[in-house]
Amino acid sequence: MTRLIKLLTILIIVGITGCTDDPIPKPVGYFRIELPPDTFAITDFDCPYAFEKHAFTMVRKKRQDCWVDIHYPSLRAMIQITYKPIENDNLDTLLNDMHNLVFRHTVKADGIEEKQFFNDQTKTYGTLYKLHGDAATHTQFFITDSINHFLRGVVYFDAVPNEDSLKPVNQYMYDQAIRLMETVTWQD
């Protein structure tokens, strides 16, 4: 009988002290992403353009006509660069193609910001697009000298689009695109 009283006493104490707060579910968490420190170097490949790239990247020239992938392995990101020479007054066609490729993402994008870029000193002009929402890419840009060269860039991730979890990396890659645009020089 004393054993039963002890057991009941323990159950009553546990029952009284164990039910103080309602459980609260924890929000979904994401891994912390370490961004590499900013260290830059000039690209060195046989193309009619050059720019500063992050020193921790790997550059792979894909084709003879200077299409390039700049890989950021630690971020599982890539800037895909396509180069087209301006010939036979095809600048309007190149600009329309760029515009169509950007706005093809409006199906998933919540909005698109445009930032104009002008540098009369280096004769480079362009537009930087920042897409919001769960689009396949958040950053696209083009830069040109309006006479001979047209460069298009798109940032891609090896990840499922999720604006919340990729926000710091999206901003970092957006800043990388700005740096690339600001440092483009034409090799005539």
Digit-coded pLDDT (tens) for 65-117:
889 999 998 888 999 999 999 998 899 999 888 888 888 777 677 888 899 99
Which CATH number is associated with domain 40-186?
A: 3.40.1000
Helix or strand (DSSP H, E) at 164: helix 163-183
pLDDT of 14 strictly over 90? no
Task: Output the pLDDT for position 30.
Answer: 62
Please state the pTM of the whole predicted model. Answer: 0.76
Tokens of 148: 């001979």
The answer to whether 145 and 84 have CB atoms below 8 angstroms apart is no
Asked if residues 67 and 61 have their Cβ atoms less than 8 Å apart, the reply is yes
Nearest of 95, 93, 112 to residue 103 by alpha carbon: 112
Report the DSSP pairing between strands 149-157 and 139-144.
antiparallel
């066609």: which residue's tokens? 93
Where do the H-state alpha helices sit in 19-162?
Answer: 91-103
Label residue 18 by pLDDT band (50, 70, 90).
Answer: low
Share of the chain above pLDDT 70, in %: 87
Q: What distance in Å separates the CA atoms of residue 125 and residue 110, rounded to the nearest whole number?
A: 26
